[in-house]
Amino acid sequence: MTWLGAILLAAAAGVTEILPVSGSGHFYLIEKMLGLELSAADTAAFRAALHGGIALALVLFYHRRLGQMLRDLLVGSRKPGTSLPRRLLVLLTVSSLPMFLALLLNRTRLAIEDSSALLAFVSGFLALSGIALFFSSRSARERKDLPQTTGYDGFVMGLAQIPTVFPGLSRVGLLLSAGFLRGLDYPSALEQAGLMGIPVYLAAALTQGLGVKKLGTATVPVQMLLAGAGISAAVGLFTLRVLTERAAYRKSTGYAYWCWGASLLALVLFLIAA
């Protein structure tokens, strides 16, 4: 791992983990383009740092909403009825439960990431992410905002997170697609996806960090890991601001084309290597 490679991977993670284009797919795509050839232990260690940075970006961006949720949980709401922060806390809890089922796919994910055909899998999964975004966005009904979102909506979005453990399947993309199919408008689906990302990225950073020793000895310097986490957090925070500001008038169809372009590039790189 070189410093230039670490900086580029971290900056790319800050963009692609936030946008609905698959951070994991782009990680392996950029790694191949830069010719880094990281070991499994180095990959796990560096991705743990990047995921920690993305979790930090999400916490900083949504800190007011998280504070409201915590306050309502501890002291209750002063307003009669169910407040929005408490509703979001319930939705976050319900939507996070299905992610435990993703642990059942862990061996399959590791087998794909260790496969010589990794880029072929990434290409296929990126294409699927694009298809889901394209058709769900075009058929979006957009009848609900966050106060109207139900626990069932959150559970469906939680189910959509399960297959996103595979590289190339965009977590944000599939969550937006599920939200659109449930009738959520774009800003509401985007905020729900962002809040749901906090426990996911924290869990990913923890499990990947703890799993490094099982994969071998990591050679990435601690300074590089900390720099990667900081860069991904800073770029991720900036991307969140830009994405949220434009959410009121921008659709997600354009990201489908991004996914398809990245899918084609991954396929070309796989064929060249083969």
pLDDT winner (highest mean) among 18-32, 71-85, 212-226, 240-254: 18-32
pLDDT score for 78: 57
**Mean pLDDT of the chain, nearest integer:** 87
Structure tokens at 34: 């830069």
Percent of the chain with pLDDT over 70: 94
The residue-averaged pLDDT of 39-66 equals: 93
The residue-averaged pLDDT of 191-205 equals: 90
Would you say residue 249 has pLDDT above 70?
A: no
pTM here? Answer: 0.89
pLDDT score for 22: 93
CB 266 within 8 A of CB 122: yes
Closest C-alpha to 17, from 56, 45, 62: 56
C-alpha dihedral, 88 to 155 to 61 to 252, nearest 10°: -120
Which band of pLDDT confidence, cut at 50, 70 and 90, is reported for residue 75?
confident
Distance in angstroms (rounded) separating the CA atoms of residues 159 and 174? 10
pLDDT score for 62: 93
Structure tokens at 100: 């435990």
pLDDT score for 77: 56
Would you say residue 208 has pLDDT above 60?
A: yes
pLDDT score for 213: 82
Distance in angstroms (rounded) separating the CA atoms of residues 125 and 23? 12
